[in-house]
Structure 1
Amino acid sequence: MTYTLYSMSLIIRGLLIGIILAFIFSSIAVISKTFHAIYHLVVSICDLLPGVALLPLAIVWFGIGEITIIFIVIHSILWPMSRNIMDGFQSISKIYIESGRNIGLKGLSLVKGVYLPAAFSYVLSGMRVGWARAWRGLLSVEMIFGTTGSGAGIGWFIFMKRTNTDIAGVFAALIVIIIIGIIIEYVVFSTIERNTVRKWGMVR
């Protein structure tokens, strides 16, 4: 349980920061065409980089510890979510945008009042993709950190059980990972979807 809570605390912190940054950058991209062009290029490049590939740089910058793991989690969710949000913004009918402007919305108020609600199905899809990437990245980094004796998450637990040839322990950890994934998908995301895009009639 301790290992699970440790991993969840890391991924929750990383996801929150990544989601906030994705919303901020994507909102600015709506307002500024120049920023949109630059940020779209950055997203296209960074989205191709696996989080584990950046681990050596992250270790140099932040050392071996929680900050490095959180950095990998942020990287894993920021780019796919930003891509989905911007794609969602571009898919919005101009009628909705003009309607928002006609009632006095502009800038960030237009983003909040029109863009985000209209593109929320894309936002939710980006969160799903980002969560899956971040979860895999977190476990991978924890297992790599296991070689240094640093860490106490599920990935580290799997590494230690594998080192001790405790197959039962490895399977137990895998079952926990599967259960967490099911809970996130069928409880958390399904609840959000049911109370937003399904309730609004955006999806069936």
Structure 2
Amino acid sequence: MPANILMRADHTDQTDEDLAIRISPLQALWQNGAVRKTGILLALLVIWQVYAVRLDNQLLFPTLTDTLSALWRSIGDGTLLARIAASLKVLLIGYGVGVALASVLTIVAINTRLGTDLLETLTATFNPLPAIALLPLALIWFGLGVGSLVFVLVHSVLWAVALNTHSGFRSVSQTLRMVGQNYGLRGLRYVFRILVPAAFPTILTGLKIGWAFAWRTLIAAELVFGVSSGQGGLGWYIFENRNVLDIPAVFAGLLTVIVIGLVVENLIFRTIERHTIQKWGVQS
């Protein structure tokens, strides 16, 4: 190999080493997305505390320390944990039923033209309708209880998941479809072995949107159910403490709603993504 080429290679290696040396440990840490997001959250908490201290009005905006104190107190006496368990139980039922119905509708739609027309008609009709607007009907049809909550949750989940899943299936390349057909895959085997892996990024997006819709719909519905029946989950916890003007406890309930959302998004869905999309190599 000529000497000038060797000199260029050595120079390139030295340059890469110099760049690696120039990056400080703090810079390397900052390149981690989780660290940056944690820093943003900490900054928001500091802003919360500073603003609340300057405002000095617990009825309008309690401090972070008072909120955490109320949160710890509610966890200690078991009240908040019971409310969280009640909300998550209803959420899992409604979310599971909604995803199951969306799967059935989408499989029918992808295999038949009539199914496609049915899905498009239903989504165009019911998707613009807010789930919470169905709560009065749910109260009439199912009465006070879990049935009414599950009904509005299914509506909030169904259309978002179905739309994204159907869109993902339709975006699968014709070449991949032909490969599956050449291997003799038909029906459910064709859907789960060809379409689902290829369209899973879009499907997962639909699952995330459905979860977000279901979570906020549940809290809003529980506020109404709390007024009606005096029982419920996190929504009722927030409403109950608002009635007695325990505003730090109200903020503790809101903070709990946010924390659960962050945990589901950054722990559960990220784990699913790591073991499916990234593993299969279909990340867009």
TM-score by length of 1: 0.97
Measure the CA separation in 2 of the matches of 1:22 and 1:111: 14
Q: Cα offset for 1:172?
A: 0.8
Measure the CA separation in 2 of the matches of 1:46 and 1:121: 24
Measure the CA separation in 2 of the matches of 1:139 and 1:37: 33
User: Unmatched 5+ residue regions in structure 1?
Assistant: none
Q: Percent identity?
A: 37
Measure the CA separation in 2 of the matches of 1:66 and 1:16: 14
Q: Cα offset for 1:109?
A: 1.4
Q: Which residue of 1 aligns with 2:118?
A: 38
- Matched position secondary structure for 1:119: helix
Q: Does 1:22 align with 2:102?
A: yes
- Picking from 87, 96, 111, the partner of 2:167 is 87
Q: Does 1:143 align with 2:249?
A: no
Measure the CA separation in 2 of the matches of 1:152 and 1:21: 26
Q: Cα offset for 1:16?
A: 0.9
C-alpha contact 1:11 1:134 (8 A) present in aligned 2: yes
C-alpha contact 1:85 1:119 (8 A) present in aligned 2: yes
- Which string of whole-angstrom CA distances, capped at 9 and with x for unpartnered residues, describes residues 96-145 of structure 1? 11110100101221111111111111110001000000001000000011
Q: Which residue of 2 aligns with 1:164?
A: 244
Aligned partner letter, 2:168: G
C-alpha contact 2:180 2:190 (8 A) present in aligned 1: yes
C-alpha contact 2:225 2:232 (8 A) present in aligned 1: no
- Matched position secondary structure for 1:111: helix
Measure the CA separation in 1 of the matches of 2:187 and 2:281: 26
Measure the CA separation in 1 of the matches of 2:278 and 2:120: 29
- Matched position secondary structure for 1:105: coil
Q: Cα offset for 1:30?
A: 0.8
The aligned length equals 204
Q: Cα offset for 1:62?
A: 0.6
Q: Does 1:108 align with 2:152?
A: no
The within-5 A match list for 1:180-195 is 180-195=260-275
Q: Does 1:125 align with 2:205?
A: yes
Q: Which residue of 1 aligns with 2:45?
A: none
Mark the structure with the bigger radius of gyration.
2
Q: Which residue of 1 aligns with 2:150?
A: 70
C-alpha contact 1:65 1:151 (8 A) present in aligned 2: no
Q: Cα offset for 1:183?
A: 0.5
Q: Stretches of 4+ moved more than 6 A in 1?
A: none
More displaced, 31-40 or 131-140?
31-40
Aligned partner letter, 1:77: V
Measure the CA separation in 2 of the matches of 1:41 and 1:114: 26
C-alpha contact 1:18 1:75 (8 A) present in aligned 2: yes
Q: Cα offset for 1:150?
A: 3.6
Aligned partner letter, 1:182: L
Report 1 or 2 for greater relative contact order, CA contacts < 8 Å, sequence distance ≥ 6.
Answer: 1
Measure the CA separation in 2 of the matches of 1:13 and 1:5: 12
Relative to 1, partners in 2 of residues 1:150 and 1:66: Cα closer, same or farther, differing over 3 Å? farther
